[in-house]
Amino acid sequence: MRPWSIVIAVLAGLAIVALVGSGADGRTFAQRALAGVTVRPGLPVRGVVVVTGPDQSINIILNEKIIPDDAASALHDARGLIASAATQSPEQAKATLNQAVTKIDDAMHSIKKTADDTSNLAVKLRLEQTYTALSAIRAQIQSMADQL
């Protein structure tokens, strides 16, 4: 009886290998193992303002695919205002940076409203992280304006 159990175990092992291999859909095992390597969750944007300046932080936030269109438009405007403030006199730059703060406030309001309206918890979390990053960007721009 012992030799038959060895033969059955070997046949069962070969059957498992055949079943796993037949589900390849023309791909090898290595290709299937690497299929999900490039897929990763979005990185948190909370600390982006610490690493980069406000204009680069806005660029990173604009790459988020979940922000509403009106918030994206306001952030584009704020980014342009920040860039133009760099070439202006201090009095003009202060007014321009205050306009950028207003645009960021508009974007934050839109993102907060969208986060409150969504039922998807993952989207809500990403929007709240974006809101937190925007509040840090807003504080940094306000500080720049106050120093002028």
Question: What does 68-109 look like in DSSP terms, one character per residue?
Answer: -HHHHHHHHHHHHHHHHHTTS-HHHHHHHHHHHHHHHHHHHH
**pLDDT at res. 72:** 92
**pLDDT at res. 3:** 77
The two three-digit tokens of residue 125, written as one number? 């979390």
**pLDDT at res. 105:** 94
pLDDT (tens, 9 = 90+) of the chain, 148 residues, equals 577 788 888 888 887 877 776 665 555 555 545 444 444 455 556 566 666 778 888 888 888 788 899 999 999 999 999 989 888 888 898 999 999 999 999 999 999 999 999 888 888 888 888 898 889 889 888 888 888 7
The two three-digit tokens of residue 96, written as one number? 């321009």
**pLDDT at res. 36:** 47
pTM confidence score? 0.66
